[in-house]
Amino acid sequence: MNTPFLDALKKSGNRPHAAFYVPGHKQGKGISEKLSELWGEKVFRYDLPELPEFGNLLPATGVMKTAQDLAAKTFGADQSWFLANGSTSGVMAAILATCKDGDKIILPRTVHSCAIGGLIFSGAIPIFINPVYDSNFDLPYTITPEAVEQTLSQDDDIKAILVVSPTYQGVCADIPTLANLAHSYNIPLIVDAAHGAHFGFHSQFPPSPLALGADVVIQSLHKTLGALTQASLLHLQGKRVNPASIEFALQCLQSSSPSHLLLASLDAAREQVETQGNQLLDSALALSEEARSQIKALPNINLFSPACPQAGCQELDRTRITIDVSALGLTGFAADEILHDQLAVTAELPTAKTLTFVVTFGNFIDDINAVINGLRQLKQERGHNTVLSPQISRLPPIGQFISPRATFFASEKALPLSETVGKISAELLCPYPPGIPVLMPGEIITKEAIKYLQEMLTFGNQISIRGCSDSSLNQLQVMDE
């Protein structure tokens, strides 16, 4: 196997020449001394623009196209695109390519907030489906084929289905059944598989959604493989989605000056997983199983390990380790803070009750020992101000909707929170973590949504509500009807 884009970047960066092109630091010669001290000088030599020897990203030409063609072959797609703006740009592009103004699209209630941007850009109308819910861990699974089929049977204007699989906790949807269902209505299945770039490269992990019939799949190679942060792929197979529409959408959403450091990392990560994937994932799986075995023996810590298959949970990525810490008298946010600040262990995602740890082939046994030792010390390290907050309600169902795009461009006004029920939200209110929207532009505000947001505020600085003009939530922006 080779790495055509990475090789071209290396060759060009080492070629002596007078640089009269951007970026302004000129291969590091004019870079800040603080940056060169932190990162070293060598990396800047390869921070290059779209020089002739590389070809273009959009549309792909030259070695760039060769590298993307290799990615398509490796991941099992008809065509793949390098993304330098993360899976965020890929999800939005997929919506833009499949839905026009007024078209309807099925989405899970727990969709990432970037999908709402796709609705605003495209003018599509969302039809949200609540996923199966695990009340013990206060975690969502995925949407079921039965719920999707019922929705499809009631509406003739649906043009696409978007599912999130795997979820942040590694729960996978029934992709084969969902794909067959979508195709029976002659519409595409889009899979936000940002957390599943490693699927399909080891027999003990779930298959890639592409192998299971999905039409468009978006994967973040930086999350579970060896690419740099923001480096992702968008894959297409079949003829239900026009590749030219994907191409144009990406031209609208991605920078015309993409970081070649990010793109080269995609080329290298692709080659690495293709040639060493089975061995590397063997290591990750062994470490994860060791951690799971030891966590099961810890008192007052419950390991998330749902039975598969069941409704909303077809398979589970076992390198996602999620634990419930509420029996320790801690919130997930407080436990995360103690582990990070005092015990030198940093989790991926805290929620009100849980912590999620991501194990990859970049981890080693010392990391597993550190997390187990950290969890053992959680109880004794607990401070007086970290006691479990009042129980948080279940994430409220989505209210009725008008067009998010129409709302985005409409006039708006601020109202006291108590006066907003029944009004149309003009804001995207998204508690972070975990980053799931509670209110979106175009949604009719409900009492349940207001209650949930107020409960989020009880966590103080452990959680932030993004997208609101008033961070205290004394008032909200609503559509001025």
pLDDT in tens, 263-283: 999 999 999 999 999 999 999
CA angle 193, 197, 199 (to 5 degrees): 95
39-47: list long-range contacts, CB under 8 Å, 24+ apart: 43/261, 45/13, 45/14, 46/9, 46/10, 46/13, 46/260, 46/261, 46/264, 47/23, 47/259, 47/260, 47/261
At what angle are helices 365-381 and 332-342 packed, to 10 degrees?
110
What residues in the chain have per-residue pLDDT under 50? Answer: 383-390
Work out the angle at residue 430's Cα, subtended by the Cα atoms of residues 339 and 476, and round it to the nearest 5 degrees: 130
CA distances from 237 to 32, 212, 417 (A): 44, 11, 46
Q: Mind listing the pLDDT tens digit for each residue in 29-72?
A: 999 999 999 999 999 999 999 999 999 999 999 999 999 999 99
Give me the pLDDT at residue 455, please.
Answer: 85
Grouping H, G, I as helix, E, B as strand and the rest as coil, residue 413 is: strand
Taken in order of first residue, the domains within the chain and their CATH numbers are: 4-273 (3.40.640.10), 284-381 (3.90.1150.10), 404-479 (3.90.100.10)
Nearest residue to 332 (alpha-carbon basis) of 133, 172, 139, 113:
139
Does residue 179 contact residue 210 with C-beta atoms inside 8 Å? no
Q: Give me the amino acid identity at 231.
A: A
Q: Which residues contact 411 (CB under 8 A, 6 or more apart)?
A: 479, 480
Rounded CA-CA distance 449/312 in Å is: 24
CA–CA separation, 22 and 35 (whole Å): 18
Q: Of the candidates 301, 305, 357, which has an alpha carbon nearest to the alpha carbon of residue 330?
A: 301
pLDDT score recorded for residue 481: 76
What's the pLDDT score for residue 46? 97
**Largest pairwise CA distance in the chain:** 66
